Amino acid sequence: MPQTRYTATAIFLHWLMAIALVCLFSVGFYMHGMSLSPLKLKIYSWHKWSGVTVFLLVWLRLVWRFGHRPPALPAGMGALVRALAHAGHAMLYLLMIAIPLSGWLMSSAKGVQTVYFGVLSLPDLIAPNPELGHRLASLHSALNYLLAAVVLGHVAAALKHHLIDRDDVLTRMLPWRVRS
């Protein structure tokens, strides 16, 4: 019998990452406009810790996904829609890796070391370079807005499947069981 739902672990990681990404984006947007203060520095530290955690979790998600095949897409989906679905998921994974990496590179270029949970000093990936740090900050911001757009597309596609196509694409990723 073909699998119709994602595994409990895949569902848990999906929603954990979704919540973490929304929180990280919101905090990043909020802290960017703050004046320099001890509170801003504390929030930056929390944001960096969370970013490192997401970076680690995305690798765990990828390992899980490669070891546990997701349910097949609905049979009625055309080749173009299937290709778009796969491209959208690939873009989500790529951005979940690129964004924390760009933040880490930005911090390194700005000469601000990342210390995970205030305990584990992560190595700087590049030498301090304020000009490059500024460009990486712009890249980090642009990648985040791109991720927000891709996530909105992802949500819109899931809702389209649920409300218009009336298939199980959305319900098989929900943490609770939905009866047909």
**Kind plus residue range of the DSSP H or E element containing 3:** none
Number of domains in the chain: 1
Given a cut of 90, is residue 177 above it in pLDDT? no
Kindly state whether residue 164 falls inside one of the protein's structural domains: yes
Other beta carbons within 10 angstroms of residue 172's beta carbon come to: 16
DSSP-assigned beta bridge partners for residue 116: 120
Q: What one-character DSSP code corresponds to residue 174? A: S
Cα angle 119, 25, 32 (rounded to 5 degrees) comes to 80
Domain that holds residue 167: 8-173
Helix 38-67 vs helix 79-109: angle between axes, to the nearest 10 degrees? 140
Given a cut of 90, is residue 2 above it in pLDDT? no
- The model's pTM is 0.91
CATH number at residue 149: 1.20.950.20
pLDDT digits over 111-144, tens only?
A: 999 999 989 999 999 999 999 999 999 999 999 9
